[in-house]
């Protein structure tokens, strides 16, 4: 980790972050425009159990993370789901991802979450290695993940 992490701040996203968040999502493989992200932020911001975090250094967004908390029905409490986590290609390995994930875990605990999950495409080997280093376990042998696009 280089000295970029020492000047790193983690904060909640605002509408002014839309252009930088759009660029980060595009790097992650989800092409997004500033207008797209502006409208998405509008429905994320008022949700008390949703959060978008920005890792920033000197006004530049180095990464972002989005997360929701969902209630369990089968037990008391909630679980958090990280929906997206991306660090700018130029800032990987500087501690931005670690700082974002640590801040997300803190928020999840504050929300009363008992667990936190993140999914990652099998092709993202570096991301999966990072999650393991951060204490996450690959539990694909315990449950399947099914997906259906709604018309």
Backbone dihedral angles phi then psi of residue 39, each to the nearest 5 degrees? -70, -35
Mean pLDDT (whole number) for 20-34: 94
Q: Which of 23, 22, 55 is nearest to 38 (CA)?
A: 22
Domain boundaries, the chain: 3-133
Residue 94's pLDDT is 87
* Fold classification of 3-133 (topology level): Aminopeptidase (3.40.630)
Quick: pLDDT tens for 36-54.
999 999 999 999 999 999 9
Quick: pLDDT tens for 73-124.
999 999 999 999 999 988 988 899 999 999 999 999 999 999 999 987 777 8
Q: Model's pTM, two decimal places?
A: 0.87
């Amino acid at each position: 980790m280089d000295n970029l992490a020492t000047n790193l701040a983690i904060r909640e996203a605002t509408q002014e972050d839309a252009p930088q968040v759009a660029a980060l999502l595009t790097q992650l493989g989800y092409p997004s425009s500033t207008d797209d992200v502006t409208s998405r932020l509008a429905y994320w911001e008022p949700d008390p159990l949703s959060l978008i975090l920005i890792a920033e250094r000197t006004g530049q967004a180095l990464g972002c993370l989005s997360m929701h908390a969902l209630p369990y029905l089968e037990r008391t409490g909630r679980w958090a789901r990280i929906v997206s986590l991306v660090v700018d290609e130029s800032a990987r390995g500087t501690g931005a991802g670690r700082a974002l994930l640590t801040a997300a875990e803190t928020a999840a605990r504050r929300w009363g979450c008992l667990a936190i999950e993140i999914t990652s495409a099998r092709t993202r080997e570096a991301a999966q290695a990072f999650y393991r280093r951060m204490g996450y376990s690959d539990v694909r042998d315990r449950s399947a993940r099914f997906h259906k696009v709604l018309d």
